[in-house]
């Protein structure tokens, strides 16, 4: 708990998890490996820490060098919370669930226009704009369960009667292509002020904005299904890297599954069967947290093991398609439903308790899930045999 195991040649690691929070051994191992990477100065781990493909998820890493793998493939992935101008109690959940199936279809909006409005150039991945993607990504209608800090809630215009939409999505194929390109170049680490470092940052920053726009469009599509308008409460990426000038010395602050704690209230989702939280970061309290916060409950069991833990029979599917609050989970992919079952995740209350006890944040409001939408099984699109430029051939 708040340990700083100083291994020879390794950067200090601060773990903001109490002994009550389960941290998998492999995640701790990955954390130590990260602390030993070239240029790494400090590592902060959150209680939602769990093992990932290229390194642990749920941590911030301050380094002299940019490590694209520490950001991962879903550059700019994050959480957008939006308030709808409709009362939560007015939503017809079954009707809404039906309409949300439209999110499995490509967005039919004017991609060129929204990109231009956002100041973003076109890429070959723009057809994915407005799509949620797979894995843990979701779009969830929520209602306020409780407001614990009325003054702060009022500052951001929270109204306990309104419905909300929380979107967890990222940069789809775009971010993936950027990491893929870096790995093909064989450069494990980049000098932040070098040409290659700047080129990565340009592509990265573009993907971060693209992902933010993607969440906005997804929220608008969801709002349209509820025949409502929306306004953003806050939107924060949790997979990203930023350059920081520390008195002439440029450093890279990576966040992998960790939200920034220096730009407004942080939406912290639970699993799809629990409350989600909106917290106020108390950044000044702990500089060793690297201006970061937990980004959710964090996985407890890996995806593969969930297929053995959850039977995907009719009765189980029926159970997984409801949440304990009487809400609906829409997911046309039984396998994904099993992988993303609430029991695959850590206890969000434990995670929140930890960040509160370590003085990292306080809870402003809690939200209960009404309707959660997750991607349906990917169906192979017939007839698209036309040879387009391969995404691996793509250059900005």
Binding-site residues for Mn(2+), please?
Answer: 137, 168, 238
Per the annotation, where are the binding residues? 136-140, 168, 238-239, 276, 295-298, 374
Among the listed residues 16, 82, 125, 200, the single contact to DNA using CB under 7 A: 125
Q: Which residue has the tokens 């991945």?
A: 125
Count other C-beta atoms under 10 Å from residue 36's C-beta: 14
Extract the tokens encoding 126.
């723009």
Pick 14 or 272: Cβ nearer DNA? 272
Binding status of residue 312 toward DNA by CB under 7 A: no
Among the listed residues 14, 51, 62, 74, the single contact to DNA using CB under 7 A: 74
To the nearest 10 degrees (0 to 180), the angle between helices 172-185 and 195-225 is 160
Question: Over the range 324-350, which residues count as b (16 or more CB within 10 Å of their CB) and which as e?
Answer: eeebbbbbebbebbbbbbbebbbbbeb
Among the listed residues 134, 264, 332, 342, the single contact to DNA using CB under 7 A: 134
Binding status of residue 136 toward DNA by CB under 7 A: yes
Pick 158 or 218: Cβ nearer DNA? 218
Binding mask 43-72 for DNA (x = CB under 7 A): ----------x-------------------
Binding status of residue 73 toward DNA by CB under 7 A: yes
Of these residues, 14, 101, 295, 307, which one is catalytic? 295
Binding status of residue 172 toward DNA by CB under 7 A: yes
Among the listed residues 78, 173, 270, 273, the single contact to DNA using CB under 7 A: 173
Binding status of residue 105 toward DNA by CB under 7 A: no
Pick 57 or 253: Cβ nearer DNA? 57
Binding status of residue 210 toward DNA by CB under 7 A: no
Annotation marks residue 295 as catalytic:
yes
Pick 73 or 292: Cβ nearer DNA? 73
Binding status of residue 127 toward DNA by CB under 7 A: yes
Q: How far is the CB of 233 from DNA (least distance, A)?
A: 22
Q: How far is the CB of 345 from DNA (least distance, A)?
A: 11
Size of the site for DNA (CB under 7 A): 26
Binding mask 360-379 for DNA (x = CB under 7 A): ---------------x--x-
Distance CA 294, CA 16 (A): 9
Count other C-beta atoms under 10 Å from residue 232's C-beta: 14
Q: How far is the CB of 53 from DNA (least distance, A)?
A: 6
Pick 56 or 133: Cβ nearer DNA? 133
- CA–chain centroid gap for 345, Å, is 14
Q: Which of 260, 258, 261 is nearest to 280 (CA)?
A: 261
Q: How far is the CB of 124 from DNA (least distance, A)?
A: 5
Among the listed residues 55, 80, 170, 270, the single contact to DNA using CB under 7 A: 170
Taking CB under 7 A as the binding criterion, the range among 58-66, 121-129, 182-190, 272-280 that sits at the site for DNA is: 121-129
Binding status of residue 395 toward DNA by CB under 7 A: no
The DSSP bridge pattern shows strands 230-237 and 78-87 to be: antiparallel
Binding status of residue 388 toward DNA by CB under 7 A: yes
Burial class of 234 by CB neighbour count within 10 A (0 to 12, 13 to 18, 19+) = middle
Binding status of residue 111 toward DNA by CB under 7 A: no
Pick 232 or 335: Cβ nearer DNA? 335
Q: How far is the CB of 304 from DNA (least distance, A)?
A: 11
Which residues make up the interface to DNA (CB under 7 A)?
53, 73-74, 77, 124-125, 127-128, 133-137, 170, 172-173, 175-177, 375, 378, 380, 388-391
Q: Cite the active site residues.
A: 295
């Amino acid at each position: 708990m708040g340990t700083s195991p100083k291994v020879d040649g390794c950067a200090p690691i601060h773990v903001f998890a109490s002994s009550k929070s389960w941290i998998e051994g492999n995640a701790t191992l990955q954390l130590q490996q990260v602390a030993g990477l070239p240029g790494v100065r400090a590592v902060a781990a959150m209680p939602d820490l769990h093992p990932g493909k290229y390194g642990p998820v749920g941590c911030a890493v301050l380094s002299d060098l940019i490590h694209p793998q520490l950001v991962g493939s879903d550059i700019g992935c994050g959480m957008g919370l939006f308030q709808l101008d409709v009362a939560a109690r007015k939503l017809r959940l079954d009707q809404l669930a039906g309409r949300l199936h439209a999110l499995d279809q490509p967005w039919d909006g004017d991609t060129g226009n929204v990109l231009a409005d956002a100041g973003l150039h076109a890429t070959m991945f723009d057809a994915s704009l407005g799509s949620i993607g797979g894995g843990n990504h979701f779009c969830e209608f929520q209602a306020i369960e409780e407001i614990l800090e009325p003054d702060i809630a009022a500052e951001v215009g929270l109204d306990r009667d309104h419905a909300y939409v929380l979107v967890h999505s990222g940069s789809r194929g775009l971010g993936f292509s950027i990491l893929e390109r870096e790995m093909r170049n064989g450069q494990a680490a980049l000098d932040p002020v070098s040409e290659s470092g700047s080129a990565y940052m340009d592509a990265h920053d573009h993907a971060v904005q693209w992902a933010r726009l993607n969440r906005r469009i997804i929220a608008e599509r969801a709002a349209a299904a509820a025949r409502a308008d929306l306004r953003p409460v806050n939107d924060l990426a949790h997979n990203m890297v930023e350059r920081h000038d520390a008195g002439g010395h440029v450093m890279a602050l990576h966040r992998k599954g960790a939200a920034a704690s220096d730009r407004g209230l942080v939406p912290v989702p639970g699993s799809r069967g629990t409350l989600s939280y909106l917290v106020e970061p108390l950044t000044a309290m702990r500089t060793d947290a690297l201006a970061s916060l937990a980004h959710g409950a964090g996985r407890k069991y890996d995806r593969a093991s969930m297929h053995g833990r959850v039977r995907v029979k009719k009765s189980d599917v029926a159970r997984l398609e409801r949440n304990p609050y009487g809400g609906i989970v829409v997911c046309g992919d039984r396998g994904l439903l099993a992988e993303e079952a609430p029991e695959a995740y850590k206890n969000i209350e434990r995670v929140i308790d930890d960040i509160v006890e370590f003085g990292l944040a306080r809870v402003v409001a809690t939200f209960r899930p009404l309707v959660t939408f997750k991607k349906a099984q990917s169906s192979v699109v017939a007839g698209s045999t036309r040879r387009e430029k391969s995404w691996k051939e793509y250059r900005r």
